[in-house]
Amino acid sequence: MASIDVEHVLSRMTDREKLSLLAGINFWHTRPIPKYGMRSLRLSDGPNGARGTRFFNSVPASCLPCGTALGATFDEGLLYEAGRLMAKEAKAKGAHVILGPTINIEDPVVAGTIVASSINGMQSLKVFSALKHFVCNDQEHERNKVNTVVAERALREIYLLSFQIAIRELRPKVIMTSYNKINGVHVAEDKKFLQDILRSEWKWNGLIVSDWFGTYSTSESINAGLDLEMPGPTRWRGEAAFVAATTDKLYPNAIDDRVRALLNLINEYEGSNVPNNAPEITIESPETSSLLRRLASESIVLMKNSLGVLPLRKDKRTLVIGPNASVAAYCGGGSAALRASYTITPLNAIRNKVSEEVAFTIGAQSHRELPDLGTLLLPTLYASEKGVTFKAYNEPPEIENRKELDTLKFKTANMMFMDYNNPELKDFWYTDIEGYC
């Protein structure tokens, strides 16, 4: 597809067409307008692997160590390779933008430098990062309304510096705003951060996207510099923005600037070779496994080994203690959640390397909530691997011979139904989760 003549297209578009572009069309895609040559861009979580467009029964992906671990490698070259892997994973999921990496209040020089290397790797393969969360995203509790009160010096020397370094070194194409307020104003509608600092002071000219459901206004956010509301369908733009435009609450040049940022981003992707609505696949190779292992091992710091416990020896009896030893706790939740293409528990990994005779005791439970029962069950009576069977119906359990819409097997009972879909599924439906001891 040929590049868009941005200024020519802007001069031809109606206000409604322009405003329609300022929010996603669905959870993961921007709105296309084919008559102007505008294709839809696909965005994907996340910070430690490309999940793709589904939470429920997602296509497996490589799971990288979390950002804190990657920072602990202090290895810019290794992080460049990690970025290239992220780009390959994104293309396997048909994504043009990875929503990450994430930086926060770790050492700002280390964070900014390491993140720049990762972004460099991604963008070398024409997949672009959405650096997040800009800025002062310091807590999850009430994150949509928390007010972070911070002095200008601390803001500059701690919170903004890591972003400034990454932007200075690599010019990431997308920045994601944080949910919170800073000194009384939501970042997503604060001109100081979006226009004065990012665009005027730092001379950055990419696209600013909200965190998911992190847009809180119509005129204020657009005038302040927030280009794209995600996800769609819109809650704050669309018809509300059109009314604001007709009553002069929206500045015409602000609308054009928001659209211009998106069109410029679309032009950036012409060399990515990622088709629209591409199918999602899993890519695995010995090279990928080797890189993931190296990323994990280089992030570990051995603080003490005074009794020579490590490395473990096959001629010694070994006891493993702890609730996380028998669980493959490989990623976080929310945007960091994904279905890893390969997992192994620490206990099984130790047994594979040392001996099947390695003993285990849980020591103490550490669950804040009920543990995942699915990891202890079998999906069918004579199955060889742990898990559960998921079945979906439109009828309640008391109906005889009800029709199964889907029968799927999972290794865990921890699943999100928010994007589960079946063509026959009604608005009100039922599921059975079955497992056997």
CB 211 within 8 A of CB 133: yes
Query: Residue 1 has what pLDDT?
Result: 55
How far apart CA 142 and CA 153 sit, in angstroms, is 25
Task: Residue 12: name the closest of 192, 179, 237, 256 by CA.
Answer: 256
How far apart CA 396 and CA 430 sit, in angstroms, is 6
Per DSSP, the three-state class of 342 is coil
The pLDDT > 90 percentage for the chain reads: 82
How far apart CA 355 and CA 315 sit, in angstroms, is 9
Query: Residue 276 has what pLDDT?
Result: 84
CB 54 within 8 A of CB 419: yes
Q: What is the pTM of this model?
A: 0.93
Tokens of 153: 């010096």
Q: Work out the average pLDDT over 94-108.
A: 92
Told to judge if 138 belongs to the known catalytic residues of this protein, a careful annotator would answer: no
Chain-centroid distance of CA 379 in Å reads 29
The DSSP H or E segment spanning 7 is: helix 6-12
Query: Residue 375 has what pLDDT?
Result: 83
CB 125 within 8 A of CB 86: no
Chain-centroid distance of CA 351 in Å reads 33
How far apart CA 27 and CA 23 sit, in angstroms, is 10
pLDDT in tens, 279-335: 999 999 999 999 999 999 999 999 999 989 999 999 999 999 999 999 888 888 888
Tokens of 395: 């009828």
Average pLDDT in the chain: 93
Domain ranges for the chain: 6-271, 307-366, 369-437
CB 387 within 8 A of CB 435: yes
Q: Work out the average pLDDT over 222-251.
A: 95
> Do the strands 147-148 and 97-99 form a parallel or antiparallel pair, or are they unpaired?
unpaired
Least confident of 60-64, 136-140, 186-190, 344-348: 136-140
- Distant-in-sequence, close-in-space partners of 302: CB < 8 Å, separation ≥ 6: 310
Task: Residue 63: name the closest of 44, 91, 82 by CA.
Answer: 82
Task: Residue 314: name the closest of 269, 350, 268 by CA.
Answer: 350
**HSE value, Cβ hemisphere, 13 Å, CA-based, for 285:** 7
Q: Tokens 């691997």 correspond to what residue? A: 385
3-state helix, strand, coil in the chain (%, to 5): 35, 15, 50
For 184: left if phi > 0, alpha if psi spans -120 to 50, otherwise beta; the answer is: left
pLDDT in tens, 10-30: 999 999 999 999 999 999 999
Q: Which residues pair with 436 in a beta bridge?
A: 378
CB 25 within 8 A of CB 232: yes
Q: Work out the average pLDDT over 347-362.
A: 94
How many helices, marked H, and strands, marked E, lie in the chain? Answer: 13, 13
CB atoms within 10 A of CB 283: 15
Query: Residue 81 has what pLDDT?
Result: 98
**Top-level class of domain 6-271:** alpha beta
pLDDT in tens, 364-377: 988 888 888 888 89
Tokens of 417: 């139904």
Which residue is catalytic, options 45, 75, 190, 211?
211
Dihedral of the alpha carbons of 205, 237, 44, 105, in degrees to the nearest 10: 60
3-state secondary structure 187-238: HHHCHHHHHHHHHHHCCCCCEEECCCCCCCCCHHHHHHCCCEECCCCCCCCC
- Binned at pLDDT 50, 70 and 90, residue 155 comes out as very high
Examine the pLDDT at 360 and tell me if it is beyond 80: yes
Query: Residue 229 has what pLDDT?
Result: 98
Chain-centroid distance of CA 63 in Å reads 12
How does 296-325 read in b/e, with b if 16+ C-beta sit within 10 Å? bebbeeeeeeeeeeeeeeeeeebebeeeeb
pLDDT in tens, 376-427: 898 888 888 889 999 999 999 999 999 999 999 998 888 889 899 999 999 9
Total residue length of the chain: 437
CB 370 within 8 A of CB 349: no
The sign of the CA dihedral 134, 139, 140, 144 is: negative
